[in-house]
Structure 1
Amino acid sequence: MTRQAKYPKGVFCTRKPNGTTYWYYQRDKGKPTRGPLVRLPDFGSPEFYEALRDIARGDAPTRYNIAAMIADYKSDPQWGTKRPATIATYESALAPILQYWGEREPGEITVAHVIDLINKFAGKPSMGNMVLVMVKKLMKFAVQRGHRMDNPAREVDALYEDTDGAKPLTPAAWAALMAPECPTSVRRLAILGRATGQRISDLIRMRPADRDEDGISHTITKLRDKPHWSLLKPEEAAEIDGWGVGPATPYVLRPDGRRYDTDSMRDAWNGYIKTESGAALAGFTPHDLRATKVCDERIAGKTHQQIAAMVGMSVGMVMKYSKHIDQRLAARGGA
């Protein structure tokens, strides 16, 4: 680490073992009052000499760190075109990046840094992988704007997730959902979920106004609000129509009359699990209603392709959910 006398005080260079030289500026370097470490532009470039002139005039350069880059990333016009739910997901994944790396410069991040950050979420692989997605996006952003030469996140593998996903409810679990002690909102969610096979985010938006002939018209949030129509069995339609809900009011409402969001609906489900009456639901989530719908239709003789069209999911996902019963159906000579 050296400093040339011809450069302003606080400017110095560091030579790496591979011969690469980096130039920095730090006010009051080596003192308790020292300022932030600021990496200067490439030596010899016009930007380098401009930074030296700024320092000599007393205009210390501002350090461009990850926090500043995240602000730039979010100010890009494309950020505003994303769906609110997508923005919320991205924000949750950006939070730990800001927490652990906020003061670092984009060029400082190495493969080891990325691995260390992702490994902090070993117990929550889904969240860890979402953080990795955002790291890749940010590092790509940094490369495109000349803050670094490569994307270190490309070399990092995603954490392992159990992609088996949903499983069908047991008879005991379904009985718990139909029990008198089950909260009305949770019971209605279960009925809608088993009838349509849709995700919780779409179930909580369904209303009487969406009833369409012998089914219900709605959109699939995961597919960017793609329109979809779900057939209801006569007994399902009769049950749902008997709830006495106003045309524009969601079928599933909180006890105080307010709307649920996805998280609060999950909280209601999990709260019921903790009761004696809901104990049989332990280990099940609202997402398992999708697998239950798939298995119901397989037992009824539908093909994987037919179920995929009915529910609005891929054939591969239908097969993944129905594998819980397909072997038994085959053994019994069924579909």
Structure 2
Amino acid sequence: MSKVSLPRHVHRVVSGGREYFYYQEGRGTAHAGERIRLPDDPQTPEFWNAVRQAQGTFGPTPTDTIGALIDAFEVSWQTRQRKISKGTQVHYRRYLKPARKAWGDLPARELRPRHVDALIRKIGADKPGAANNVLDALKAMVAWANGPVELLTHDPTHGVERFAKGEGHRPWTPEQLDYAEKHFTGMIRRFYFLSRYTGQRISDVVRLNPNDEDDGGFSLPQKKTGVKPWCPIFPELEAEMQSWERRPGPFLLQEDGKSMGKPFSTNQMWKAFDRERQKHAVLTGAVPHGLRANAVIRLRGAGYTALQISDMVGMSVEMVEHYCRYADRKASGQAVLRDLQERNEDKIVKRWKSGNKK
């Protein structure tokens, strides 16, 4: 069996060529607790319900509930043929919590589309993006459960509609971009240039380091998706990097406090950016993810296709087109306006055959 991450106090024992699992607190110490035999397959709901019972949840625990199904789905990630990235695992766990809270003890066979629709509508009344994420996580779980594991025989998400997509994160305005390039200093300046010209998420920008450079670009598996784009190091970024010291580790290191000299976490970088943003009124509304939109719009304006941009930034073609839609419409409208102006000018200013104005 492929390796499975086991919870605390659960131990795997191999005897006679077979695997056995036990729950025992304080194993190997003078205060060892009772040794409790667990089911043989850690990929089943029965196994994880037995673990919960051993941890103190006494009494009969159903093994066919939505809560048990979510447990089984989560443990399956360790042995899937197509690996699920750590970022996606975190995403699924977060957005399956509302389902666990709403229907944790409900028998899975009794969950119906009307139940899912009611939950999605309730969440979407205030947070449509979160509602869509919950629905996506449920669909992923249901697709798995209806597969070879055969833990479900129906689709409780069938027909449940997503909320319409919003605008997404707005790109920075030309004034905001100009201000950042002229006034940002230190690590915030580095962060701005890396984000602006690679189009990567903040969680990936804080990890970029010289070892990720690959023949004129950056090649780094994205934390959220596992996708490995190849981001060209454009001349603007290359010129900025000329002054950066070459050393092991991330380009971005904290500049003060107890963590001075240590890499930024995603949250720490967000806080550092927010402190800087609060100093400058012109940056009101600007968020790091907006620079991701600026990056793809810039590339689209340079004539690259959505597929090429997807390869460079590691964003889906659909999302590239979503971010570029406004820019594309604006460019099309401006082209029409120029054409109309030229036609009007031709009507007003007639020319002789010699080319002189009449």
Fold conserved between structures, TM > 0.5: yes
Q: Which amino acid aligns with 1:168?
A: P
Cα pair 1:215 1:237 within 8 Å, conserved: no
CA deviation vs aligned residue, 1:45-89 (integer Å, no higher than 9, x gap): xxxxxxxxxxxxxxx864232222222222324369422111111
Classify 1:205/1:332 alpha carbon distance in 2 versus 1 (closer, same or farther; 3 Å): farther
Structure 1: tracts of 5 or more residues without a match: 1-59
1:127 paired residue number: 130
Please list the CA deviations of residues 117-142 of structure 1 after superposition, one character each: whole Å capped at 9, or x if unmatched. Answer: 22232122222222112223444455
Structure-to-structure mapping, 1:241-260, within 5 angstroms: 241-246=242-247, 248-255=248-255, 256=259, 257-260=261-264
SS in 1 for 2:272: helix
**Cα distance, 1:94 vs. partner?**
1.9
Map of 1:265-304 to 2, 5 A cutoff? 265-273=269-277, 275-277=278-280, 279-297=281-299, 301-304=302-305
State which of 163, 177, 180 in structure 2 corresponds to 1:177.
180
Shift of 1:173: 1.4
Amino acid of the residue matched to residue 67 of structure 2? A
Determine the C-alpha separation between the residues in 2 that align with 1:148 and 1:314. Answer: 30
Corresponding residue number in structure 2 for 1:206:
208
- Cα distance in structure 2, aligned partners of 1:139 and 1:271: 42
User: What is the alpha-carbon distance in structure 1 between the residues aligned to residue 207 and residue 233 of structure 2?
Assistant: 17
- Contact 1:214–1:237 under 8 Å retained in 2: no
> Distance between the aligned counterparts of 2:151 and 2:316, measured in 1?
40
Distance 1:303 1:137 in 2: 33
1:232 Cα deviation from its structure 2 partner: 2.0
Q: Give the CA deviation at 1:156.
A: 0.8
What SS does structure 2 have at the residue aligned with 1:165? coil
Pick from 155, 158, 162 the counterpart of residue 158 of structure 1. Answer: 162
Matches of 2:219 and 2:205 in 1, distance apart? 11
Deviates more, 1:315-324 or 1:191-200: 315-324
Cα displacement string for residues 139-192 of structure 1 (whole angstroms, at most 9, x for unaligned residues): 445555666542111121112221x43443213212443464x57333222111
- 1:96, 1:183 → 2: CA distance? 42
Displacement of 1:288 in angstroms is 1.9
Corresponding residue for 1:39?
Answer: none
Distance 1:297 1:118, change over 3 A: closer
| Correspondences of 1:1-335 after superposition (within 5 Å) | 62-64=61-63, 65-76=65-76, 77-78=78-79, 81-122=83-124, 123-140=126-143, 143=146, 149-162=153-166, 164-178=167-181, 180=183, 182=184, 184-212=186-214, 214-221=216-223, 224-233=226-235, 235-246=236-247, 248-255=248-255, 256=259, 257-273=261-277, 275-277=278-280, 279-297=281-299, 301-304=302-305, 307=309, 310-313=312-315, 317-322=319-324, 323-324=326-327, 325-327=330-332, 330=335, 331=337
Tell me how far 1:106 sits from its aligned partner: 1.0
Number of matched pairs: 267
Q: Report the CA distance between 1:228 and its aligned residue.
A: 1.1
Quote the Cα distance in structure 2 between the aligned partners of 1:167 and 1:242: 30
Shift of 1:194: 1.8
Residues 319, 102 of structure 1: CA spacing in aligned structure 2 closer, same or farther, 3 A cutoff? Answer: closer
Q: Could you give the per-residue CA deviations for residues 240-297 of structure 1, whole angstroms, max 9, x where no partner exists? A: 2312252x22112334233334344334333433x132x3222232222133223434
User: How far apart, in 2, do the equivalents of 1:172 and 1:92 lie?
Assistant: 36
Provide the identity percentage.
Answer: 31
Quick one: structure 1 residues 143 and 249, their matched pair in 2 at CA, closer, same or farther if it must change by over 3 Å? closer
5+ residue gaps, structure 2: 1-58, 340-358
Secondary structure at the aligned position of 2:132 is classed as: helix
Cα pair 2:203 2:223 within 8 Å, conserved: yes
User: RMSD of aligned C-alpha atoms?
Assistant: 3.2
1:214 deviates by 4.3
Asked if 1 retains the 8 angstrom alpha-carbon contact of 2:120 and 2:134, the reply is yes
SS of corresponding position for 2:193? helix
Matches of 2:251 and 2:338, distance apart in 1: 39
Change (3 A) 1:258 1:124: farther
Q: Distance in 2 between matches of 1:84 and 1:93?
A: 14
